[in-house]
Amino acid sequence: MHLVMIGGSDAGISAALRACELDPAAEVTVVVADAYPNFSICGIPYYVSGEVTHWRNLAHRTTADLEATGMRLRLDTAATRIDVGGRKLQVTGPEGREELIAYDKLIIGTGAVPVRPPIAGLTGLAALGPADGVHLLHTMGDTFAVLRTLETTSPASAVIVGAGYVGLEMAEALTARGLQVTQIEQLPEVLATVDPELGGLVHAELAAHGIEVLTSTTVHQISRADPDASGRLRVTARTSADVTIEREADMVLVVAGVRPDTELAAAAGAKLGIRGAIQVDPGMQTGLPDILAAGDCVVTHHRLLGETYLPLGTTAHKQGRVAGENAALGGNRQFAGSLGTQVVKIFDQAAARTGLRDHEAAAAGFEPITVQSEADDHKAYYPGSHRIRMRITGDRRTGRLLGMQLFGHKHAEIAKRIDIAATAIYNGMTVEAISDLDLSYTPPLGSPWEAVQMGAQAWSREISLHNL
């Protein structure tokens, strides 16, 4: 049995590890486009900030660790064509030599690529690039380019286009390096994956650390401040009120999201679905014979929404594991579905969400009610307690928990508390039933009623008081 995985990030490596575990006799080859298999892309901002002291520390496993499992790594090797009928993968090696690799089962884990917004100076033949101090950020190569700019030009200021998870983390990273940062977001508030009420708290945390935040503002052009000389960049944008804004900076970082990388799969005849991602069934089968796919390149099954596109590292790991098991054993292991559970640290605070927000739940056919409340992370009489802001969304008809959003201090266990909600939603629990959970308590770490239970009780009171 020869299994071939395309992609050396979360999905491809997870698939290869699972296949090697289940069938040690299988020949497992992983085709990696660069020289950095199994690196944590999510950790890049912390390497840029200096908190992670060496880029090699971003590797989940070393190359030697991976090869010790029995897999073969083909580094700096681009997959260029899939011969579906012949069960062969055409690749181009590091020296430009083309080769055909035969396979019995193929797993596509090509991931995602950065979105390039229609910004003059960023796209097209006259595009500025890393040599000019303008960067996208998605790969280790992108990371090294950012570090070269930081180390060789010693920039004093930066503009970040985009205020999603990576944009926020990079704003903190560059601030930690002493840069004056301006963050520009075209939507009405930063961190659009949570409601504006919590996004506003994130906004305030950024501002409290000296970051200029411009929302409802769309960047249209990146150019040289002095067209006849190298040096500072000028970013031109317009607000939703049609007011032109200009900012000058020494470097510009564009982090406007990602899109699925599906060119190879589409050329092989794979069906594409929402957002152009590869259509797969719960077993990660593409419909092409003996070809599976997983990770940021595929459609995601959401437990409340059905099919969506939700590129997350946690999801990619799970999908890759399913694909690797099914490829190795010919079984029908199924991906159980995502809830979009996410958390991000912003300086001293953290924001998290799981499940659906109010408008998402309504669009999915529920009758959502969202209630905002606050609670202490542990008993207030014990020093160091912090308030946690919560937004809980439940279904009016059934009382089912649909979603939760949290914001609080980075030491308030925001990540683990959102996991309580994710577990409850996964198991179809009602909001009311959260109060029945037997959760731990000691005054330095919690309360007899856990914070999320107090939020659930606030939701129930609101429903009762207004007969909703």
Does residue 128 surpass a pLDDT of 90? no
Q: Do residue 188 and residue 210 come from a single domain?
A: yes
pTM confidence score: 0.94
Q: What is the pLDDT of residue 229?
A: 58
Given a cut of 60, whether residue 77 has pLDDT beyond it is yes
Within-domain flag for 450: yes
Kindly state whether residues 189 and 141 are assigned to the same domain: yes
- 93-106 average pLDDT score: 96
Chosen domain end from 239, 254, 269: 254
Q: Is residue 122 part of a domain?
A: no
Q: Is 125's pLDDT higher than 70?
A: no
9 and 24 co-located in one domain: yes
- Please, which pLDDT band fits residue 228 given cuts at 50, 70 and 90? low
Are residues 379 and 434 part of one domain?
Answer: yes
CA quadruple 288, 292, 298, 302: dihedral sign: positive
- The reported pLDDT for the residue numbered 272 is 98
Domain of 212, in residue numbers = 130-254
Check whether residue 108 and residue 62 sit in a common domain.
yes
Q: pLDDT category, 135, cuts 50, 70, 90?
A: very high
The whole-number average pLDDT for the span 179-205 is 97
Q: Are residues 158 and 79 in the same domain?
A: no
Mean pLDDT of 145-157: 95
* Runs of H (alpha helix) within 278-350: 313-329
Whether 336 is in a domain gets the answer no
Q: For residue range 335-379, what is the model confidence (pLDDT) as tens digits? A: 999 999 999 999 999 999 999 999 999 999 999 999 999 999 999
Whether 136 and 248 map to the same domain: the answer is yes
- Of 235, 254, 273, the one marking the end of a domain is 254
Measured N-to-C along each axis, helices 10-22 and 313-329 cross at an angle, to the nearest 10 degrees, of 30
* Rounded Cα distance, 247 and 237, in Å: 9
149 in a structural domain: yes
Structural domain count, the chain: 3
Whether 447 and 358 map to the same domain: the answer is: yes
**Residue 121 domain flag:** no
Query: Is 241 in contact with 227 (CB distance < 8 Å)?
Result: no
Mean pLDDT on 378-394: 97
Residue 460 maps to which CATH number? 3.50.50.60
Question: Percent of the chain, pLDDT > 90?
Answer: 94
One domain for residues 265 and 245: no
End residue of a domain, out of 254, 287, 308 = 254
Query: Is residue 310 located within the same domain as residue 279?
Result: yes
Q: Which of 78, 52, 60, 74 is nearest to 2 (CA)?
A: 74
Residue 230 has pLDDT above 70, yes or no: no
Q: What does each C-alpha distance from 69 to 29, 84, 362 come to in angstroms?
A: 12, 28, 47
* Residue 96 confidence (pLDDT): 93
Rounded Cα distance, 356 and 362, in Å: 9
Range 207-215 average pLDDT:
98
Q: Please state at what angle helix 196-208 crosses helix 165-176, rounded to 10 degrees.
A: 10
| Residues 225, 304 within the same domain | no
pLDDT tens digit string along 17-51?
999 999 999 999 999 999 999 999 999 999 999 99
Kindly state whether residue 334 falls inside one of the protein's structural domains.
no
What would the pLDDT profile of 270-318 be if each residue is shown by its tens digit? 999 999 999 999 999 999 999 999 999 999 999 999 999 999 999 999 9
Q: How far from 405 is each of 245, 302, 358, 423, CA to CA, in Å?
A: 33, 17, 11, 14
| Mean pLDDT value of segment 403-413 | 97
Span 153-163, mean pLDDT? 96
User: Does any domain span residue 125?
Assistant: no
77 and 184 fall within a common domain: no
- Is the residue at 220 inside a domain? yes
Is the predicted pLDDT of residue 224 greater than 60, yes or no? yes
Average pLDDT, the chain: 95
